[in-house]
Amino acid sequence: MKDFVFKVLVLAATIFVAIPLMVLWQGWAASTLWLWFAVPLGMPEISIVTAAGLALFLSALKLNKANKSCGSSSQVDSIAASIIIPPVVVLVGWILKTFA
């Protein structure tokens, strides 16, 4: 019974805390890259929330495509990727912006 309660609490914490934070984290990365690369081309600035929405939209498209493929990754891999990928992408973008 304790295992079940623990699993439910972890699931609830993931749903109500971790996922929104990861979405905002991805939104920050997307809005930063947009500011560096799209705004100089004449596009308007976008907020972190707007960028988070775009990131969610693109993730949904990617998820739909991934579900059709043969292999699937674990939830831990997905969470780790959601935490690690945004700052790495911003770092690469910063390097490109610096040398462009």
pTM tops 0.85: no
- DSSP class of 63: H
| Cα angle, residue 69 at apex, residues 68 and 74 outer, rounded to 5° | 100
Task: Read off the tokens for 19.
Answer: 């996922």
For residue 45, the model assigns a pLDDT of 96
pLDDT digits (tens, 9 = 90+) for 35-88: 999 999 999 999 999 999 888 888 777 765 555 555 556 777 777 787 888 898
Give the number of other Cβ atoms within 10 Å of residue 83's Cβ. Answer: 14
How far is it, in rounded angstroms, from Cα 50 to Cα 54?
6
Query: In sequence order, which residues have a C-beta less than 8 Å from that of residue 48 and are 6 or more positions away?
Result: 24, 27, 28, 31
Task: Read off the tokens for 5.
Answer: 């309660």
Looking at the structure of the chain, the number of domains it has is 1
Give CA separation, 67 vs 49, 71, 80, 93, in Å.
26, 8, 18, 28
Domain boundaries, position 25: 2-99
Strands of the chain, DSSP E: none
pLDDT at 2 over 60: yes
Q: What three-state secondary structure class fits 100?
A: coil
